[in-house]
Structure 1
Amino acid sequence: MESDQQQEQAATAAPQSTATSQQSPAQPEPTSNSTGATQQTEPASAGSSTQAQRPATAPASPPLPTRHTPQAPGPRAARFQKVLDDSLKHTLGKVTWDNFASCYPTIADRAPATLKAAQRQMVDRLTMLCKKEFDSILTSRNVVNKLNELEGLVSEAELRRDEAGLPDQNNIPTPYVHLSSVATGCYTNPKNRPHLLPASDILAAHLQPHLVASQSQLNARLQTTQSHNARLWADIQQQRAELSSLTGLLEKLVKDLEEAGGMLDDAGVQTEIAKETREVESEMMMDTS
């Protein structure tokens, strides 16, 4: 009985050992870490390696809905178009019959009907070309849609302001204050908030840095001009002194000449010189005869 049981156990153990020997090449060998514990690494299949190579990305969120913008011109776009039309009409209104006839007086006298027709055709042609150019610019720059978007933003801001109501006077937020507003004295009083100041003060606050730079440049130029004028004034003073000295010298010479002439008159030298001159002339006349 014991021999029969041992044969049955050997028969059952043989296929198990064969199966383990066939599976052993596919199984990895156990590895030991630094602590001495045995770890068995599992083989990575082809599918798992491919999944490891692909990065795990989160699904993209759906895009936000775009703001609806009406295609028809709103109040601002209509006003802008009206301003363009009025400007064009005012400009071409200068091409009147009187102005046109003054440029061509001869044709206006001989063929006024032809000149009037040319004037109307010119005005109509310029109107058509200008409107066409305006329309192309409005289309290329997308002016109507942008003005409509501005209209929507303004209405939305007004709606939010009405929904929020008036803020508490004790908890008014302090807005950003530019240094130029402090320099111009626009923010000396804490009650003078920049958003409550008039437009002139805000404009002066923004122009203050540019005005300061321009004033420094002008001061430098003024100092240069003043120094140049000082040098010129010194030269003028020196020339005036030289001129006065020369004038005094000339007056002295004239005085000396007058005194010398008076002395000659007193001594009768002029009479003797005149007598000698007449004698010489008479002798020359006798010699020539």
Structure 2
Amino acid sequence: MPSAVNGDQNGKASSRSPSPAPAPPVAESPGPRAAALERIFAQALDATVKRCSYANFAACFPTPAHYVPENLDAFWRDFTGRVGDAATANFNQILAARNVVQSLNSLDTLVQDAKKRKEQAEAKANGGPIEPPTPPHTLPAQTLTLAHLQPFLSAQTQTLEFQLSKTQQANTQLLSEIEAQRAELAALVNGLEHVVRDLEGSVEMLSQDDVQNLTREVLDIDKDLTG
């Protein structure tokens, strides 16, 4: 039943546009664009901190610079270091809160996929004109709906088929057990029938006249012995 439904939907979707493949998992490690963003930020932060040189910093505090320059130098180094650390921490917090790395990695994947599709289209065209793909926004709503539902329906179909296969195997095993029990019951009934026939034969034999006469003679002998 699920296969039939899925097959019908497959036919409708393939007649309009190919169904998109399920989105691959996005890597947590920075890709090319995320790494470039981090590198640009590091360069910009380093350039900003360097503009706050000791000479510029000391010009804002002439008295400490004149009397305790070593203390002011230590304070300047600590200040610029804290500024850089705070800026880096805020930057990383924004990256994590906005899922910037994952989004840029998704963009990298889309760009690479687009390049592969272009190369495949060029190779398929074999020097001829390349037919551009149908823009998704021009497709009817039903086609888009089926295309987005196709991965989910395929996964559900596979799950149902797997469960159906397990149920069929369990039913086959149960049927084998029932047939074995039926054969055992048949053997028991056959044995009981033999016992019943033996008992009926014994009763029939005891009811014959010869046996009855022999029984009376035995009883008479027993009376004579006991009398």
TM-score scaled by structure 1?
Answer: 0.36
- Name the one with the larger helix percent: 2
* Structure of greater Rg: 1
Of structures 1 and 2, the one scoring higher in RCO (CA 8 A, sep 6+) is 2
TM-score scaled by structure 2?
Answer: 0.46
